[in-house]
Chains A and B, each alone.
Chain A
Amino acid sequence: QVQLVQSGAEVKKPGASVKVSCKASGYTFTSYGISWVRQAPGQGLEWMGWISAYNGNTNYAQKLQGRVTMTTDTSTSTAYMELRSLRSDDTAVYYCARVEEPLLDYWGQGTLVTVSS
């Protein structure tokens, strides 16, 4: 069965960076992409971008351009999302999801990132 298992919760100071991982299993990793979606406390879902696990092509949300980098390691079927220059409003649960563009069909369990001084 398809599973996406994310790394654990993080606490970061403003200005720092965070890197969240998402390990996939149960399917051929390079046949799909991985999308990242975040959800601030009590708020709705926000699409951050996606990466093709086949060729590494990316498409980032305009508001995050320059601060976010998505990568994959096909040898371990793992996707990564790095967010830099963290601010308090980056505090959120970050989800990865399998993508058959644009469909997000399977989701990880979520990773809470807290940005606080």
Chain B
Amino acid sequence: SYELTQPPSVSVSPGQTARITCSGDALPKKYAYWYQQKSGQAPVLVIYEDSKRPSGIPERFSGSSSGTMATLTISGAQVEDEADYYCYSTDSSGNHLFGGGTKLTVL
């Protein structure tokens, strides 16, 4: 079955650049979406259609996709960016799925 693979954890110091990857065989043909989930809260959309940023999301959040890998980049990560991040996409059969999630630690 189709899977989206993320690293379980990423750790950076405040002000550094954090990169979270998402690997999936259908990503060359399907968009990736990224969600931020802070503890005890509902997920929030931070990137859609690989690289578009919703209104209200800080400019330090950006996305890219190349081949079978999509990447969420947080340039100059802040302590408040500490959260779980999930990629999300579909496959050619209409299945929708999330990656396993990446815990971002900023300290």
User: Which positions in A face B, CB cutoff 8 Å?
Assistant: 35, 37, 44-47, 50, 59, 61-62, 95, 102-105, 107-110
Determine the chain A residues whose CB is within 8 A of the CB of B96 once the complex forms: 35, 47, 50, 59, 61, 102
Can you name the residue of chain B whose Cβ is closest to the Cβ of A59?
B94
For B42, give its contact among A59, A103, A107 (CB under 8 Å): A107
Whether A46 pairs with B54 at a CB distance below 8 angstroms is no
Determine the chain B residues whose CB is within 8 A of the CB of A45 once the complex forms: 35, 37, 43, 86, 88, 98, 101
Q: Does B79 make an interface contact (CB < 8 A)?
A: no
In the complex with contacts A44-B98, A44-B100, A95-B90 CB distance below 8 A: no
Residue from B33, B37, B43, B101 with most neighbouring chain A CB atoms (10 Å): B43
Would you mind naming 13 contact pairs between A and B with Cβ atoms under 8 Å apart? A44-B98, A45-B88, A45-B101, A46-B98, A47-B96, A47-B98, A50-B96, A59-B94, A61-B96, A102-B90, A104-B43, A104-B45, A105-B45
**What distance in Å separates the Cβ of A51 from its nearest Cβ neighbour in chain B?**
13
Determine the chain A residues whose CB is within 8 A of the CB of B95 once the complex forms: 61-62
Q: Does B107 make an interface contact (CB < 8 A)?
A: no
Whether B88 pairs with A95 at a CB distance below 8 angstroms is no
Q: Does B97 make an interface contact (CB < 8 A)?
A: yes
Can you name the residue of chain A whose Cβ is closest to the Cβ of B94?
A59
Q: Does B48 make an interface contact (CB < 8 A)?
A: yes
Whether A47 pairs with B43 at a CB distance below 8 angstroms is no
Whether B35 pairs with A103 at a CB distance below 8 angstroms is no
Determine the chain B residues whose CB is within 8 A of the CB of A95 once the complex forms: 42-43
Top 10 A-B pairs, shortest CB-CB distance: A107-B42, A45-B98, A44-B101, A47-B96, A102-B90, A44-B100, A45-B86, A103-B48, A105-B45, A110-B42
Q: Given A47-B98, A107-B42, 20 other A-B contacts at CB below 8 A?
A: A44-B84, A44-B86, A44-B98, A44-B99, A44-B100, A44-B101, A45-B43, A45-B88, A45-B98, A45-B101, A46-B98, A50-B96, A59-B94, A61-B95, A102-B33, A102-B88, A102-B90, A104-B35, A104-B88, A108-B42
